[in-house]
Each structure stands twice: as C-alpha cells, then as structure tokens.
A = this chain, B = another copy of it.
Amino acid sequence: MSTPTPGHRDRRRVHHEATRREILDAAWANARENGLAGLSLRALARTVGMEPQSLYTYFHSKNALYDALFAEAYAELLSRQRAAAHPDPQVAFTRIAHAFVHYCTEDPVRYLLLFQRTVPGFTPGPDGMRSAVEVLDLVRDILARLGIGDPEALDVLTAVLGGIAAQQTANEPGGRRWTGLTDRAVTMFLREFAPDR
C-alpha cells in the first residue's frame, strides 16, 4: 500500500530534520561570507548539493529561513544564559554579562540578525520572540536578586552590554578592545544602580 508504516514515517522525519539542519548550518556560513542581507538561496543550495528550488521543501520562503535562524540563535543565547546561573547573584550577574557579550561578538552576523534591524523585509515570528522575552526575563530576575527593581536599570544594562558588543563587532571584529571592558562596565553599572554600597 502507499501508506507508509510508522517506521517509514520516522525515518523520513529524521532525514528531513537532518537536511534542514544541514541547510541552516550552510545558511549561517553563507551569511558570514556574504553578509546577512547578501545571503543567496542559489549559493546556499549549491553548498548543500541541491538545486535552489528544492530548498522550498524545507523553508517556504527566504523570510522563513531568516526566521528559523533568528529563533535558533535566540534559543541558543537563552541556554547560554541559563548555563551562566550561580547561587551568588553578584557572581551570576557578572557571568551573565560576560556570556552575553561573548555570545554577541563571537559571530557578528548573528549579532546583526538578533539585535539590529538590518534585513529589510524581515520581522521575527512568535518562536524567536518567545525566546527573546525569556532572555530578558532572566536578566530582570538577576537584577531583582541584586535588589535592583528600577526598570530603567534593565534598559541601561542592555544598552551598555549591547554597546560593547556593537563597538567590538564593528570596529575590531575578533579583538578584545571593548569586550575587555565588560568587568569595568559591570562595576560602573552596579555603582549607579545597586542599593547601599
């Protein structure tokens, strides 16, 4: 019969996922090479050994591909932030700050996709948005554990850490001139916003 057994479906699904993974990896590589907006489905297909049209089996549009990249990048950031957890809030805060800056600067293209509106027609979908909100909630929690409830503090913090990442990425990719200032920025921030010191 033409109805596949469950075994068939599983193997097919596994293969589908693997190919999808391969395409996403190649997409990151292509974007790093040619710029985020310069990502081309043709070149992408060639590196995975496919005809360009076959990509549409896995992503029904170029924006859907950007969307998948956005979502997986934010999910990865979230898991890095969680891995930076620590019982001492002060230590946790420093670790989170470093994890964030490191994550942003280790891949400039990923940074642009997540934090700069640089792809003309693209707006992230609900999956990516969810992770983005979770990342922010996590940071808010740490601040609360440090006795910092001021909502302005969170905005200043994202500006400072994002600014370090942005400067490093734009002016000296791969270097340490700005990322090396993270500890200093953290003390500066705490001196301004942490209570009683």
Contact with B along A159-197 (1 / 0, CB 8 A): 111111011011001000110010011011101100000
Can you pick out 29 interface pairs between chain A and chain B where the beta carbons lie within 8 Å of each other? A35-B118, A36-B118, A37-B37, A112-B116, A115-B166, A116-B118, A117-B169, A117-B170, A152-B181, A152-B184, A155-B178, A156-B181, A156-B188, A158-B163, A159-B164, A159-B181, A160-B160, A160-B163, A160-B185, A163-B163, A163-B164, A184-B192, A187-B192, A188-B188, A188-B189, A188-B191, A188-B192, A191-B191, A191-B192
What is A's interface to B at a CB cutoff of 8 Å? Answer: 34-38, 108, 112, 115-120, 152, 155-156, 158-164, 166-167, 169-170, 173, 177-178, 181, 184-185, 187-189, 191-192
